[in-house]
Structure 1
């Protein structure tokens, strides 16, 4: 299987590791040390070698960091992980800190009132983070000191760096050649009077060169660095052993170097160099100095605006993926409550997805949380936590696949037996929020922060909310979480045609149940409307995900006529698109699951 159910970290391992780290801090003359969940490439996901935060603390969430001082070790986590962290860290050694409500600089000021030296690994912290933190600590007596990684000193069995082979990503899926991408972005560099651009994000390098890797589980990326010159040449800093089959694909325009030579090459650049301070490691920014032009990673926006081939590939992948999920839901409904566990569901779904010869991996570890586990937003089932699906439970099933032609991500909440009225009311509000976003037509130029409240309003009217963003960007056979676009109150990036995002409102009652409904959607130009402002460009969403929404959890009396119409039309489209792809037994189940409300 792609997914395992091993316990990857235990709370009892944290205290002795923390004591060893404090010993290293004392030897180094430091009063603190920062441990982010990051690697030198500054992507969201990390390889086993770079799971320093998890190894030290036990916390396995995909975002967060730890600040270790002499008498306290704060684990900073956002709203997605407030429940999870309580179960994963030794609370007598580590203190959960609600972030971003509590900022690191404020916490350090409180914990180090007399000042002190706080160490950090300059490869693992972005220049923008360090600049901001230093500014906010100015005058406090607290200094940030670059140093070797102290966790690596005590992690005796730290895994080796991944060295998996890289493959070419066919242009039929990419929709544009690597040479054309490099030429297009190089022209932008020349127009901005920039000599080159530094690219450290793995998915940006994969997109630019039309290649894919497997250095990070669930993400088809390879570790490396790149310099794009304004004449369209590329210096690629990646272990040659990964690229043995790619000389012809990369061609003469790409020169391969050992990763260790990246800093040397950066130092040799002349003129202005483009980079994103929010993803550029501090040590690289130090090499550039005043040559750094903080105009961003040039690949990020073009990568987010999918080509026609990428959109249609994603649409096709979603249909095949939807067929696998429908087969799973039909199978699950045939099982009696109390006979199936969360792991059974995960295994069955992966087996169904594996029937597709274009599947290369799952896009993240499947979240299958029943009852109280469903309230843990990023729950990962293990052999220790595996739970039977009982009558009256809700099952939150969040999963996806990495296919050659697209990346999928879908969540459905499923009633096991007979659901309660509170659960049905909350589910219906979540559904209303998802429908509101799906139906939206909005003026071009608006960002995620301008529209995400629309998906929360039905919950807000009931005094309810959820502690995660409404939606994230999604790659095209790349990272399932892709920037810069988000449906989030902190996202100022204008939504543009071709951007794929998730639409996933939810509701979580700790200790009781969780609810989330998620479709992927792509922004496209809105059709003309009679009487509309002729000069006002508008956008709409095209839905990519086609799987029934559990009618047993819907309180139809709460729906407006327009909401009913949308849901019935959606279910009609699910039937039309998915029915030809599934077994006779699943077809019979689908007929009932999509009946008109």
Structure 2
């Protein structure tokens, strides 16, 4: 019998946990590769609780009589969303990083508890931290042989059978053989025999392959063991292997069944093996230790080279951005006509934007689910529209749309906040928008010395908001892949508090990042302005040392109705005018008729 309510699913899970002698279980949003976005088969948290965000964890205690008997842990991006989607009668809402699974269990798990976890869904460091906490209460962390959620999820989808696709060198800019040779050199220099590559985007980059196994991220479910001699084993389901893939990989890459991965790990007995603790799950560490391999914890050697885009990838991204900019501009022109009439909804707007991208040519997928937030829904940072939450874009209101596309030559991500007329926006909204704009410009025009990390630049984007006693609860910039993950490490621009990953990564020429400060007034509106940028060298006359800056890659007009020009400095006005002149130069020739006239008006200088 199918379990059609989240209450029934929770009750069924508790029965399963009791049958297994467990006092609780931890359910993350994760897969065997610790991916940010996961395939339908791995959406256990959404199935159990209804939560649709991309980051969160539930802890369920077997005894429903305890108070609380379960909790949902999310960060500041999902504080509002979790309350809309997860029933507060059954789950306590907890905020990360002010708490954690370990802290919550320390406070609420019964003495001597046996808490289960799926070692294929959690990192080794996480498991060690929780194990230590439970030990202090006389409890144990138990690695389950099979996931108890799967045991009660009767209609769980199967993993995608879609074939893996070859990503041509003409778009990659470097052959897989050259990339594997670089990994070989990295291993040899450290006296290592092999490295286990588990992150799906790392595998895609290393082998120059792509796939469609995860919505919004063009990757194929697989594992790789790369060796110091330049050879590698690719573990992938047989139905995903084509003759094209075999020819592309050649004799140096052995193709093995995905189910043979554990055996592949055991065959590394006696070898020195590099494993990335941020990207490899706890089960991989356990298998290698059990086999007698010597583990060396080190960052996946593909991560940094993947983040530093070569000239071919940079050129491809600019081409993709030009097409994407035209598509978004066509959408904004349409929106300017239709929305003030009151007939546009969040869903219909998102659908129209998707159609504009498809019409623009060679769109393979969206890069994430479009965040289409009208009025108060725009204040939910990672809002995801549904039939239940769908709002009309009301006249004289704020609308926020964050979206992106996956093209073979680039991955895009852009946010625009617009005023839906016909009336004039309130002074408060213009003030907040302009302060966000000032932060965006401050980051876009930043010049910084070699060795600068993301957290050192974050304050530039927040300063104008801080001056008014305002802030936002998300990072300012994330890395972006090349026809890969829209959120790609290791670089990041954010506050360094809480040890956020990536904020201590030195920014290097060739890295893509987003520039996206914002402001959110709960229950009223949200504002965010996002462009993608490229770290590039800066030649400074008389300068000493090496300096960098940003090339802005996204070219779509920014909402001029919401700008209070009295708050802008002369330099900020100059940036605005230069940016919009560039938008008109790149996007203008791709539009025609009324859309082109609209663009020209939007790009007129202040």
1:395 shift after superposition: 0.7
Query: Residue 493 of structure 1 is aligned with which of 505, 514, 532?
Result: 505
1:136 shift after superposition: 4.5
The corresponding residue for 2:247 is: 248
Q: Does 1:466 align with 2:485?
A: no
Query: Residue 159 of structure 1 is aligned with which of 157, 160, 170?
Result: 157
Note the alpha carbon deviations across 1:56-95, whole angstroms, 9 max, x for none. 0111100010111133111000000000011101110111
The corresponding residue for 2:542 is: 531
1:504 shift after superposition: 0.5
Q: Matched residue of 2:534: which SS?
A: strand
Structure-to-structure mapping, 1:307-386, within 5 angstroms: 307-335=310-338, 336-386=340-390
Note the alpha carbon deviations across 1:260-290, whole angstroms, 9 max, x for none. 1111111111321011112211111011126
Unaligned runs of 5+ residues in structure 2 are none
8 Å contact 1:337–1:416 — kept in the other structure? no
The corresponding residue for 1:401 is: 405
Counterparts of 2:161 and 2:74, CA distance in 1: 31
8 Å contact 2:26–2:117 — kept in the other structure? yes
The corresponding residue for 2:100 is: 103
1:231 shift after superposition: 0.6
The corresponding residue for 1:60 is: 52
Query: Residue 208 of structure 1 is aligned with which of 202, 206, 209?
Result: 206
1:384 shift after superposition: 2.6
Change (3 A) 1:540 1:401: same
Q: Matched residue of 2:136: which SS?
A: coil
Q: Does 1:441 align with 2:444?
A: no
Query: Residue 46 of structure 1 is aligned with which of 34, 38, 47?
Result: 38
The corresponding residue for 2:179 is: 181
1:128 shift after superposition: 2.1
8 Å contact 2:106–2:133 — kept in the other structure? no
Q: Matched residue of 1:354: which SS?
A: helix
Note the alpha carbon deviations across 1:487-546, whole angstroms, 9 max, x for none. 12222111111110111011111111011100000111112x22322xx21111011000
Counterparts of 2:487 and 2:261, CA distance in 1: 27
The corresponding residue for 1:452 is: 458
The corresponding residue for 2:285 is: 285
Query: Residue 546 of structure 1 is aligned with which of 555, 560, 573?
Result: 555
1:385 shift after superposition: 2.2
The corresponding residue for 1:3 is: none
Counterparts of 1:277 and 1:242, CA distance in 2: 28
Counterparts of 2:561 and 2:294, CA distance in 1: 60
1:295 shift after superposition: 0.9
Q: Does 1:506 align with 2:518?
A: yes
Query: Residue 231 of structure 2 is aligned with which of 220, 230, 233?
Result: 233
Query: Residue 19 of structure 2 is aligned with which of 27, 37, 40?
Result: 27
Q: Matched residue of 2:360: which SS?
A: coil
Q: Does 1:222 align with 2:216?
A: no
8 Å contact 2:379–2:526 — kept in the other structure? yes
8 Å contact 2:535–2:549 — kept in the other structure? yes
Q: Does 1:121 align with 2:90?
A: no
TM-score of the aligned structures, taking structure 2 as reference length: 0.94
The corresponding residue for 1:274 is: 274
Change (3 A) 1:356 1:591: closer
1:355 shift after superposition: 1.7
Counterparts of 1:228 and 1:382, CA distance in 2: 42
Aligned length: 584
Counterparts of 1:93 and 1:13, CA distance in 2: 12
Unaligned runs of 5+ residues in structure 1 are 1-9
| More displaced stretch, 567-576 vs 404-413 | 567-576
8 Å contact 2:326–2:360 — kept in the other structure? no
1:133 shift after superposition: 2.8
1:114 shift after superposition: 2.3
8 Å contact 2:35–2:200 — kept in the other structure? yes
1:107 shift after superposition: 1.3
| More displaced stretch, 114-123 vs 319-328 | 114-123
Q: Matched residue of 2:158: which SS?
A: coil
Q: Matched residue of 2:19: which SS?
A: helix
1:137 shift after superposition: 4.4
1:439 shift after superposition: 0.4
8 Å contact 1:337–1:389 — kept in the other structure? no
8 Å contact 2:491–2:507 — kept in the other structure? yes
TM-score of the aligned structures, taking structure 1 as reference length: 0.96
Counterparts of 1:575 and 1:136, CA distance in 2: 58
1:138 shift after superposition: 4.4
Q: Does 1:421 align with 2:420?
A: no
| More displaced stretch, 133-142 vs 151-160 | 133-142
Note the alpha carbon deviations across 1:176-219, whole angstroms, 9 max, x for none. 00000001111110111000000111110000000100001111
Counterparts of 1:410 and 1:186, CA distance in 2: 37
The corresponding residue for 1:560 is: 569
| More displaced stretch, 348-357 vs 93-102 | 348-357
C-alpha RMSD of the superposition? 1.3
Counterparts of 1:28 and 1:319, CA distance in 2: 56
The corresponding residue for 1:263 is: 262
Counterparts of 1:292 and 1:457, CA distance in 2: 44
